[in-house]
Amino acid sequence: MWHTGNIYIITGIAVIGGGLFGFDIASMSAIISTQPYLCYFNQGPDGPGYNDMETCSGPNSSTQGGITASMAAGSWLGSLISGVISDRLGRKTAIQTGAVVW
C-alpha cells in the first residue's frame, strides 16, 4: 500500500515554496527602479547614448512587461519540464541537474 506521509509537512513545504516565489516577484519591484537596471535596459530618450544626462530612462512599458513576465514564464516552463526529466533521469539526478542549471 502506498504511504503518502504527513500531509501537514507536505503542505508546509508547498507553502514555503509559494512564499519564496512571491518573494522573488516582490524583489523585482525593488530592482526596477535602480540606475544600473535602468541604464542596462535603457531605450531612451534620456541617458548615455541618447543625451548627456546621467540618469537613464530605462525600458519602455512593453519591454518591462516582457522582462517581468519572463520570470513567471520560466517557472511555468520549468514545472512542465521537471516531471519529464524526473521520469527519465530519476528524482535525485533531476534535482542535481536543476541545481547546476540554476
The set of cell numbers assigned to 20 is: 519564496
Q: Is the pTM of this model over 0.75?
A: no
Burial of residue 58 (CB within 10 Å: 0-12, 13-18, 19+) is: buried
Residue 1 has pLDDT above 70, yes or no: no
Measured in whole angstroms, the distance separating CA 45 from the mean position of its chain's CA atoms is: 28
pLDDT band at 9 (very low <50, low <70, confident <90, very high): confident
Give per-residue pLDDT as tens, 12-66: 888 888 888 778 777 888 888 898 988 888 887 877 777 877 788 888 889 888 9
Calculate the dihedral angle through the C-alpha atoms of 66, 85, 21, 17, rounding to the nearest 10 degrees. 170
